[in-house]
Amino acid sequence: MSTVRERITEIIKKHVKVSEDQLLDSANLGSDLGVDSLTLFEVILDMEKEFSCEIPEKDSNNIVSIGAAILYIESKIQDGSAK
């Protein structure tokens, strides 16, 4: 089974043309990877589908980096609200 990191980076790569070496936990989705607000919305929707969870808007505003996305989804998996 793929790790949370692998699943999230695959989602991001689907929406943004970046090289593997740019997909660092510290990479800011906007300034480092060029994710605009519409693309971020699409990434969030894909994360909800991939992990079978709901990401409220207030939480999605805090997903500003790959690392933040990983930590958020891992916390949802731990509390049983994501797969």
In 3D, which of 49, 43, 38, 44 has the Cα closest to residue 12?
A: 43
Rounded CA-CA distance 60/56 in Å is 6
pTM of the entire predicted model? 0.92
For residue 50, give the 3-state DSSP assignment. helix
Q: What is the pLDDT along the chain (83 residues), one digit of tens a residue?
A: 579 999 999 999 999 999 999 999 999 999 999 999 999 999 999 999 999 999 999 999 999 999 999 999 999 999 999 89
| Residue 83 included in any domain | no
CATH number at residue 34: 1.10.1200.10
Provide the residue range defining the domain that includes 67. 4-78
3 state SS of 25: coil
Number of independent structural domains in the chain = 1
Choice among 21, 36, 46, 59 that is catalytic: 36
Task: Please state the length of the chain.
Answer: 83
Q: Is 36 assigned a catalytic role?
A: yes
Residue 32 lies in a domain: yes
Q: What is the DSSP string of 13-82?
A: HHHS---GGG--TT-BTTTTT---HHHHHHHHHHHHHHHT----HHHHTT--BHHHHHHHHHHHHHTTS-
